[in-house]
Amino acid sequence: MEIAFILRCFPALSETFILNQITGLMDLGHKVDIYSTLESDAEMIHPDMDSYRLLDHLKRLSVPKGWGARAAGALPALARGLLSSPLPTLRSLNMFRFGRQASSLRLLYLTSSFNKRYDVIHCHYGVLGDTGITLKKLGAGADIVVTSFHGFDITTWIEKQGELVYDELFREGDLFLPISERWRHRLVKLGCPSDKIIVHHMGIDCERFTFRPRILDKEGNIELVSVARFVEKKGLEYSIRAVAALMDEYPRLRYTIAGNGELFEDMRKLVEKLGASERIKLTGWMPQDRILELLQKSHILITPSVTAADGDQEGIPVVLMEAMAMGLQIVATIHSGIPELVEEGVTGKLVPERDPEALENALRELLETPDTWSRMGRTGREKVEREFNSRKQVLKLAGYYDELTGAPS
């Protein structure tokens, strides 16, 4: 099967779950091309980029900004489009049907970028679903459009654009894959036909994450860790305050936060203000192999996610899946789809958002009951293998494609 993925940015280290889908489909024998609307940061190259030669499958799906820039490149775009897909290219200039989208030359650039037909277009994030639908209307790309919903596309984007923003997508799209039950309910409330929705969890390749029961030694440091971008919805302020409050009680406690972002300097100053610089370390961005090393030596992962002031929320953080697969203890918040992965007292500890005292108490409870760690660690690993295993999830995804296209499974 020929599949086109439309993505915001590729490769993006924070979206390894999409990379796992792509490589998993390739392992099944499918042909995949990747259309990215933004340039990637070269330092964020994942090892699979080379082993699967993914750059050979990567194409840019971008429209120049400003009428002047679009007009300057219009003739080459027109030539490319007429050579590869003449009818969709001519339709893209039909101002009577497509109005401003045609007159702005946006559609011309879209059709000229798609130089072949696919069986399925899969758009990751609802904000790109309309691009897939537009290509479908033009007769470019594919007749089947699948859209995955993750987080900001069903929270802040709707706050900005209004609750009708996806009406055409819901009407014309063929399948919608929210990554959690929470987002399924949200899609239904927004008017998406329920028979077009399937909850499809993102996942990890469990074979890449070695399970090791965590044991609290009587000597040596107690290693806490968070892996997150330094943005509001990650809630790092609250975990920093919680850990700082425990330092006198547990002198062996150490907390490492790996990541970068707009709030990095604010969090660094908070750590200094709390007098915790010797015990709480902010490492900045780290490559995937270093992240795995950090998780492997840690005891407890803290994921203190919150709903941001603009309404932005998480989906289900992949680092939670990775940490659980490796046997770490988990402290997380009751936020978005996290309770679909972390079950209170069974696979981890859950606390309310924006509550450093509750985080502090959950950490203290774990530290005082190390005899529960082995059980929770193994149960967490089993949960990930059962419901968040990317290999199993890719098989399901390929099955959805087969059903939509009428192809034999």
Residues 211 and 192 in one domain: no
Residues 257 and 282 in one domain: yes
Q: Is residue 231 situated within a structural domain?
A: yes
Q: Is residue 67 situated within a structural domain?
A: no
Q: Is the pLDDT of residue 65 over 70?
A: yes
Q: Is residue 103 situated within a structural domain?
A: no
**Residue 358 near residue 375 (C-beta atoms within 8 A):** no
CA–CA dist 404, 210 (Å, integer): 36
Q: Is residue 260 situated within a structural domain?
A: yes
Q: Which of 76-80, 234-238, 298-302 has the lowest mean pLDDT?
A: 76-80
Per the listing, tokens 């990650």 go with: 234
User: 148 is in which domain, residue-wise?
Assistant: 2-61+114-203+389-405
Q: Is residue 95 situated within a structural domain?
A: no
Residues 156 and 8 in one domain: yes
Residues 273 and 370 in one domain: yes
pLDDT at 409: 62
DSSP state of 204: B
Residues 224 and 181 in one domain: no
Residue 42 pLDDT class (50, 70, 90 cuts): very low
Q: Is residue 85 situated within a structural domain?
A: no
pLDDT at 16: 84
Per the listing, tokens 């009587």 go with: 218
- Tokens encoding 74: 């219009």
Mean pLDDT of 211-237: 95
pLDDT at 10: 86
Residues 341 and 244 in one domain: yes
Residues 230 and 375 in one domain: yes
Q: Which of 136-140, 179-183, 192-196 has the lowest mean pLDDT?
A: 136-140
Residues 136 and 227 in one domain: no
**Residue 182 near residue 340 (C-beta atoms within 8 A):** yes
Report the number of distinct structural domains present in the chain.
Answer: 2
Identify the three-state secondary structure at position 159: helix
Residues 251 and 310 in one domain: yes
Residues 143 and 231 in one domain: no
Residues 258 and 363 in one domain: yes
Q: Is residue 68 situated within a structural domain?
A: no
Mean pLDDT of 326-331: 98
Residues 286 and 318 in one domain: yes
β pairing state of 145-149 and 175-178: parallel
Q: Is residue 17 situated within a structural domain?
A: yes
pLDDT digits (tens, 9 = 90+) for 114-129: 878 999 999 999 999 9
CATH of the domain at 162: 3.40.50.2000
Mean pLDDT of 327-340: 97
* Nearest alpha carbon to residue 38 among 120, 151, 108, 131: 131
- Identify each DSSP E strand in 133-233 by its residue range: 145-149, 175-178, 222-227
